[in-house]
Every structure is written in structure tokens, then in C-alpha cells.
Amino acid sequence: MFLGMFLEGIAMLVLTIPVVLPIIAALDFGFDPSMADMKMIWFGIVVVVVLEMGMISPPVGLNVFVVKSIAPGVPMGQIFRGIWPFWFAMALMLVLLALFPQIAIFLPMTMVG
């Protein structure tokens, strides 16, 4: 989330995924070994949520500037105040994904069987 305050999404992924992915692959997070693929799907979903949290976080928050370009009459301070409910909703979603990883892997599990 800290990197999202200063970088855009692809740059954050390029900087962090090569370092973090081997660590995640080595940990089990309570998944049984037969579901190693599902652990990576769960991690991908968590990465996307954290990436989007960073993309709306002040001071840079690139997605906030997109909103500003769509609504030029709205002050930046008001836009940044307006993103906080969404930021906290994503933080709650991260907590739920950490406590109940089955939320993230429910649909992939229905496809795999």
C-alpha cells in the first residue's frame, strides 16, 4: 500500500512480486498441499486488492487524478475525503480474505471440482 502512494500499478508489481512470490510459495497459510494452486490464486486476489488500495491512497493516488479529470470542478481535498469509505471497505475485505481464504477460492474450486 505504501508503494501505491508514489508508483503506478505495474511498477509496484514488477518491484514486489519477484521478491514476495517465492516467500508466499514456501508458506502454507493453512492450505493443504494438494491445493497449492489455490494458494497462488488467493495471493493474486490479495495483491490486486492491496494494489488498488495503494492506487487511491494520498498523496499521489493515481486513480484519484483520473476522477479529478472526469470531475474538474470538484476540489482534490473533497475527492481524497471521498475515497476513505472505499479504502476502509477494501481493508475490511483484506481482513476477511486473511481470516477466510475460502472466499477467494470459492469460484475457482467450483471450476476445478
Of the candidates 104, 112, 50, 57, the one whose C-alpha atom is nearest the C-alpha of residue 79 is 57
Q: How confident is the model at residue 113 (pLDDT cuts 50, 70, 90)?
A: low
pLDDT at residue 112 is higher than 80: no
pLDDT at 93: 95
pLDDT at 108: 82
Q: State pTM to two decimals.
A: 0.83
Could you read off the pLDDT of 85-111 as tens digits, one per residue? 999 999 999 999 989 888 888 888 888
> Which has the higher per-residue pLDDT, 93 or 9?
93
Is the CB of residue 35 less than 8 Å from the CB of residue 54? no
Could you read off the pLDDT of 27-77 as tens digits, one per residue? 876 666 667 778 888 889 999 999 889 888 877 778 888 888 999 999 988
58-66 LR contacts (CB < 8 Å, sep 24+): 58/5, 59/5, 60/5, 60/6, 61/4, 61/5, 62/8
